[in-house]
């Protein structure tokens, strides 16, 4: 009897515990804090995710906003059948209109712009080279098109591999240097972001390995690295259809495991610089190369037109390597495709197929008017409107006036210069008959002779033609002198240290490029911009120009510096020119005289 | 101001002494400007992670890196009809013993093992255990990073794991194999089948919530978050009842005694299962006769094929070398006979042979 009394008065806690399933486990404080942090990071990141729907509701995918103006990155294969305009939902519950901006079909990347706001939540593109196997990561997107409530799906995992290679379908959709993850990537996740545990974009999800289990995740997804996307961002903004890079040489592994050149185009810059078959490739674009896969990986992340370095160990006759002879060259990467070929391939892929909608398209809350002025069609462009916008922006920043405004004063220019030996050089620039006079050389352009015969002064590759066009550009603006387009931004360091006084090897200088086709020749104008392509340019000055008189010709490069502005018009104080990678010659401009030239008889 | 009229042919300054009248002139002072001076403004906010999360990334990187050095890529036989020619293995001694899955991949004259750093070796088969389908290979080198099986840990349900394997052969040469993250969901008896036949091993396995069992993954490693070996990734098997693919690993405590047996030379070859059919298949029923078993490991060449027999109709010929009988490797006439004894007389059989340096597949149905 006594024991029943004892039981009755036993401390109630233990009775409660006996009634429950035993003592509740306490979550360690640091774990609870980590969990809260993860929740906060995900909450912020998912707000920048985008669910993309095509107009007819056929399929869909994901994307991520990377600027407050609404620029968003996605996969090319997500938007290829969407047409020029599409609908995008974000986690705030709003369905936005979006317009196509630029496409990179080879690398499977596309840029669109969401419309209607200047303050979109956005995420930053991180440095994907810092990512390691084992790092935690998460994907945000719309797998299986579940986001009918506009809330994207989040899946968590780790980085399973880095610098992976996935074969293309034909020549498109090649994934080089990509990130592999076991975070669940399923159909619908394509185009969406892969975030680091800190909430920065390390990749754009787009592919996976599938086999016997069908097209559902089996723990192997692939994301285009954010560094590859960063190389293309400005080019995508230009509204063009982009091409990937090829190096004009191919490599193979020899019997001793070394990477050697097995084929090279004689018309290429590399060949002209002295690269030959059997030379060993040891560095490309700043990366050490010890396998062919590494070379393919690093080549695949660059757009056509980028310039990169390549280092070779020269082989002696008979294939033995001379250890001490290394050759470093700067190569402008040409395109994988012929421009025509690329346009046709893309046009074929982008035909919208009429079909029955598979999912109900979420309806916008209000009847939003579509701003059709955001799209301008032009052959060879995904959206020409953006190209015009950037062309105007770059020109106006530099020249201080819009592209359709011509300078009031159309006089000829006379440049009084001193060369490096302090001897006088005079350059007169006119519309057609420019002239150059130094102590030893006097040349004048003859408009009746072919330009290609007049690449004078001798050894400059066409300095006079280049400067003649330069003056025309300065007076008339890019749209009046020929067909001009905005290309995008490029790193400038690989143009070489033309001015020895500049200690800018360490700084990652970028330039924005405009290209003009005039008189059958290609002129490139390069304007300084900041190191971070997302920021506005610093001075916007034209730091260099290039004349390519005919395809595959060695370019004539001219570098402008020491700018002064006179009545808002920028004039350079120093001019450095060279032919390709040859020695540079410097001209210090003491003064520029505007010459009254009457119409004449 | 007087202006000289000049025709466009007379650029006087260049050709002769006709002077142009200056309207304006602009003088420049010679100054060296740092035109390329860009103010580097990268406002990078280092996102402060919680201590645990930060440690977690750092320590995982270290564990992954350390473990990768012990995992190897194996290339061998196969590469046709959905049978991949690659799998994964791991080093278990500093002089090059490699633990892996016992499979057709190893039945090649040249099995190649590639280390994490890209070094390639020819591998020799030391021994194999059909009961649990493991094999030991040997490569010749010293001082190799390896798992110490004695220090391996026994896993329990709830154990967080990392799985390393070369699934889908994503990695080649000096590229590191793939890493996945998961949890041991349960330790349970395996009830699986391989094709139509029950799997040989029906004992305890680690069931994992990550999709570890993919092409090329078998032989890969399951480690804990400190890098201690917990198990070896098994083959691609389906659950016997549901037909769904199972993600499992052989626990290290099951593997260890057999490894010891192989090293001691006591390799047990007979498959100890109780599933012998009451009426097994025979050579006579198939019309397929192998050469007489005169030496210990007589290679299983076909001696003759009865005309109009099942074997003849399928396409088998004398002098074919039998490589596989269903999913089992046949290394000798003895292997073939024994395995035949486990097949029901009415069952459908798949035989793989080598004929004139080609691998051929045949289906025999009575």
**Residue B297, CA atoms < 13 Å, CB-side half-sphere:** 3
Q: CA-CA distance, A476 to A381, in Å (whole number)? A: 25
Q: Which residues of B236-266 are buried (b: 16+ CB within 10 A; e: fewer)?
A: bbbeeeeeebbbbbbbbebbbebbeebeeee
Contacts 24+ apart (CB under 8 A), A529-538: A529/A489, A530/B38, A530/B41, A531/A507, A531/B38, A531/B40, A531/B42, A532/B41, A532/B42, A533/A230, A533/A233, A533/A234, A533/A489, A534/A66, A534/A67, A534/A233, A535/B41, A537/A394, A537/A397, A537/A512, A538/B38, A538/B39
pLDDT at B36 over 70: no
Q: What is the pLDDT of residue A214?
A: 80
pLDDT of A170 reads 79
Q: How far is A533 from chain B (nearest CA, A)?
A: 11
Q: Is B181 on the interface with A (CB under 8 A)?
A: yes
pLDDT at B198: 75
Quote the CA–CA distance of B310 and A572 in Å, as a whole number: 91
User: How far, in Å, CA of B315 to CA of A423, rounded?
Assistant: 92
Is A182 part of the contact surface with chain B (CB cutoff 8 Å)?
yes
Contact yes or no for A70/A117 (Cβ under 8 A): yes
Rounded Cα distance, A472 and A469, in Å:
5
Residue in B11, B26, B34 nearest the CB of A444? B11
Three-state SS sequence of B89-148: EEECCCCCEEEEECCHHHCCCCEEEECCCCCEEEEEEEEEECCCCEEEEECCCCCCCCCC
Please give the C-alpha separations between residue B39 and each of A238, A488, A509, A570, B32, in angstroms, as whole numbers: 25, 21, 11, 21, 17
Per-residue pLDDT of B257-293, as tens digits, reads 999 989 888 775 444 444 567 788 888 888 999 998 8
**DSSP bridge partners of B231:** B222, B251
The DSSP string of A50-97 is EEEE-TT---EEEEEE-STT-EEEE-HHHHTTT-SEEEEE-TTS-EEE
And the tokens for A70? 């609404």
- Position with higher pLDDT, A125 vs B348: A125
Which of A563-572, B90-99, B219-228, B303-312 is predicted least confidently?
A563-572
Sign of the torsion formed by the C-alpha atoms of B271, B277, B282 and B288:
negative
Look at B61 and A132 and tell me if their CB atoms are within 8 Å: yes
Please report where in the chains the tokens 């810092």 appear, as a residue.
A130
Cα dihedral sign for A560, A564, A566, A568?
positive
Distance from CA of A401 to the nearest CA of B (A): 20
Chain B CB contacts of A182 below 8 Å: 179-181, 210-211
Q: B38 pLDDT exceeds 50?
A: no
DSSP for residue B189: E
pTM of the predicted model as reported, rounded to 2 decimal places: 0.76
Facing B211 at nearest CB: one of A218, A293, A566: A218
Q: Does A532 touch chain B (CB under 8 A)?
A: yes
User: Given the DSSP bridges, would you call strands A435-437 and A424-429 parallel, antiparallel or unpaired?
Assistant: antiparallel
* Nearest by CB: B36 against A426, A504, A591: A504
- For residue A457, cis peptide bond before it (omega within 30 degrees of 0): yes
Instruction: Give the distance from residue A364's alpha carbon to the nearest chain B alpha carbon, in angstroms.
Output: 35
pLDDT along chain A (601 residues), means of 10: 60 52 80 93 97 77 96 94 89 94 94 95 96 96 89 96 88 89 94 96 93 85 96 93 91 89 88 89 92 91 90 72 74 85 82 42 51 86 93 92 86 91 92 90 88 85 93 93 91 52 48 91 90 60 92 88 85 90 88 72 35
Residues 6+ apart with CB under 8 A from A10: none
**Which residues of B fall within a CB distance of 8 Å from A220?**
167-168, 170, 178, 214
Contact A134 B33 (CB under 8 A): no
pLDDT in tens, A391-420: 999 999 999 889 888 888 888 999 999 999
Encoded tokens for A356: 């029955």
pLDDT, mean over chain B: 81
Whether residues B56 and A588 touch (CB distance < 8 A) is answered with no
Q: Output the CA angle B335-B86-A287, nearest 5 degrees.
A: 160
- The residue with tokens 């009031």 is A408
Residue recorded with tokens 């500049």: A502
C-alpha to C-alpha distance for A138 and A42, rounded to whole angstroms: 8
Is the CB of residue B72 less than 8 Å from the CB of residue B116?
A: yes
Mean pLDDT, chain A, integer: 85
Q: What is the pLDDT at residue A500?
A: 33
How many other C-beta atoms lie within 10 A of the C-beta of residue A408? 8
Read off the tokens for A74.
């996605």
Q: What is the pLDDT of residue A6?
A: 58
CA B209 to chain centre: 19
- Across B345-357, average pLDDT: 88
pLDDT at B10: 36
């Amino acid at each position: 009897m006594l024991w029943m009394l004892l039981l009755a008065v036993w401390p109630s806690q233990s009775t409660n515990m006996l009634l429950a399933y035993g003592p509740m486990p306490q979550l360690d404080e640091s774990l609870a804090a980590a969990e809260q942090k993860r929740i906060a990071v995900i909450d912020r990141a998912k707000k920048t995710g985008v669910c993309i729907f095509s107009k007819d509701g056929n399929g869909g995918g994901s994307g991520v906003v990377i600027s407050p103006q609404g620029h968003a990155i996605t996969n090319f294969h997500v938007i290829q059948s969407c047409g020029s305009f599409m609908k995008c939902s974000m986690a705030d519950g709003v369905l936005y209109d979006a317009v196509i901006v630029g496409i990179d079909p080879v690398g499977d990347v596309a840029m669109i712009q969401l419309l209607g706001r200047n303050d979109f939540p956005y995420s930053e593109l991180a440095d994907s080279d810092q990512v390691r196997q084992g790092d935690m990561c998460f994907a945000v997107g719309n797998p299986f098109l579940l986001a009918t409530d506009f809330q994207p799906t989040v899946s968590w995992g780790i980085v399973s591999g880095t610098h992976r290679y996935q074969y293309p379908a034909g020549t498109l959709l090649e994934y080089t240097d990509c990130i592999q993850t076991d975070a669940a990537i399923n159909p619908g996740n394509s185009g969406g972001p892969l975030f680091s545990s800190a909430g920065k974009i390390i990749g754009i999800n787009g592919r996976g390995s599938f086999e016997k289990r069908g097209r559902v995740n089996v723990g192997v997804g692939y994301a285009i690295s954010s560094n590859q996307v960063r190389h293309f961002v400005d080019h995508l903004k230009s509204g063009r259809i982009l091409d990937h890079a090829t190096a004009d040489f191919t490599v193979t592994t020899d019997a001793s495991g070394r990477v050697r050149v097995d084929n090279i185009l004689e018309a290429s810059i590399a060949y002209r610089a002295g690269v030959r078959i059997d030379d060993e490739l040891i560095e490309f674009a700043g990366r050490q190369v010890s396998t062919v896969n590494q070379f393919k990986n690093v080549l695949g992340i660059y757009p056509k037109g980028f310039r990169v370095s390549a280092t070779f160990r020269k082989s002696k006759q008979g294939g033995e390597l001379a250890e001490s002879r290394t050759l470093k060259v700067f190569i402008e990467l040409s395109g994988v495709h012929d421009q025509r070929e690329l346009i046709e391939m893309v046009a074929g892929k982008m035909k919208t197929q009429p079909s029955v909608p598979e999912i109900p398209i979420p309806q916008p809350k209000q009847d939003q008017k579509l701003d059709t002025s955001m799209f301008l069609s032009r052959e060879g462009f995904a959206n020409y409107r953006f190209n015009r916008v950037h062309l105007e922006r770059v020109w106006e920043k530099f020249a201080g006036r819009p592209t359709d405004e011509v300078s009031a004063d159309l006089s000829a220019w006379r440049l009084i210069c001193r060369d490096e030996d302090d001897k006088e050089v005079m350059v007169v620039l006119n519309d057609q008959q420019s002239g150059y006079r130094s102590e030893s050389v006097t040349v004048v352009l003859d408009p009746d002779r072919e330009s290609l015969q007049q690449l004078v002064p001798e050894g400059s590759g066409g300095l006079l033609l280049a400067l003649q066009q330069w003056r025309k550009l300065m007076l008339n603006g890019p749209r009046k002198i020929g067909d001009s387009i905005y290309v995008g931004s490029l790193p400038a360091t690989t143009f070489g240290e033309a001015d020895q006084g500049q200690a800018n090897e360490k700084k990652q200088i970028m330039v924005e490029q405009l290209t003009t086709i005039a008189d059958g020749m290609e002129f490139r104008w390069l304007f300084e911009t900041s190191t971070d392509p997302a920021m506005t340019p610093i001075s916007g000055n034209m730091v260099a120009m290039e004349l390519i008189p005919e395809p595959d010709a060695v370019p004539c490069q001219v570098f402008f510096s020491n700018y002064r502005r006179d009545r808002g018009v920028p004039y350079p104080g120093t001019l450095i020119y060279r032919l390709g990678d040859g020695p540079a010659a410097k001209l210090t401009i003491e003064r520029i005289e505007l010459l009254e030239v009457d119409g004449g008889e | 101001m007087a202006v000289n009229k000049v025709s466009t042919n007379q650029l006087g300054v260049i050709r002769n002494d006709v002077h142009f009248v200056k309207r304006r002139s602009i003088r420049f002072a010679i100054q060296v400007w740092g035109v390329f001076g860009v103010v580097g403004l990268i406002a990078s906010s280092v996102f402060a992670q919680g201590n645990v999360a930060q440690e977690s990334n750092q320590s995982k990187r270290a564990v992954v890196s350390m473990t990768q050095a012990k995992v190897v890529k194996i290339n061998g036989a196969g590469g046709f009809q959905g049978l991949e020619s690659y799998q994964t293995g791991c080093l278990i001694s500093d002089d090059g013993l490699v633990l892996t899955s016992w499979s057709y991949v190893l039945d090649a004259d040249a099995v190649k093992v590639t280390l994490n750093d890209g070094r390639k070796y020819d591998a020799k088969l030391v021994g194999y255990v059909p009961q649990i389908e493991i094999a030991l290979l040997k490569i010749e080198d010293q001082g190799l990073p390896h798992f110490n099986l004695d220090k391996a840990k026994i896993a329990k349900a709830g154990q967080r794991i990392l799985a390393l394997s070369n699934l889908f052969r994503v990695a080649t040469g000096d590229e590191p194999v793939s890493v996945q993250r998961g949890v041991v969901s349960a330790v349970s008896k395996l009830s699986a089948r391989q094709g139509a036949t029950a799997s040989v091993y029906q004992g305890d396995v680690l069931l994992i919530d990550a999709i570890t069992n993919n092409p090329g993954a078998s032989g890969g490693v399951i480690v804990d978050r400190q890098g201690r070996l917990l198990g070896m990734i098994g083959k691609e098997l389906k659950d016997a009842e549901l037909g769904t693919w199972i993600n499992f690993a052989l626990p290290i405590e099951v593997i260890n005694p057999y490894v010891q047996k192989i090293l001691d030379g006591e390799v047990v070859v007979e498959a100890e299962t109780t599933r012998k059919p009451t009426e097994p298949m025979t050579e006579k029923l198939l019309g397929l006769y192998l050469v007489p078993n005169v030496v210990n490991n007589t290679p299983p060449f076909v001696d003759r094929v009865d005309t109009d027999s099942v074997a003849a109709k399928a396409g088998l010929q004398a002098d074919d070398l039998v490589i596989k009988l269903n999913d089992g490797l046949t290394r000798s006439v003895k292997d073939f006979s024994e395995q035949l004894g486990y097949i029901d007389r009415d069952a459908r059989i798949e035989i793989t042979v080598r004929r004139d340096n080609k691998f051929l597949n045949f289906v025999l149905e009575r």
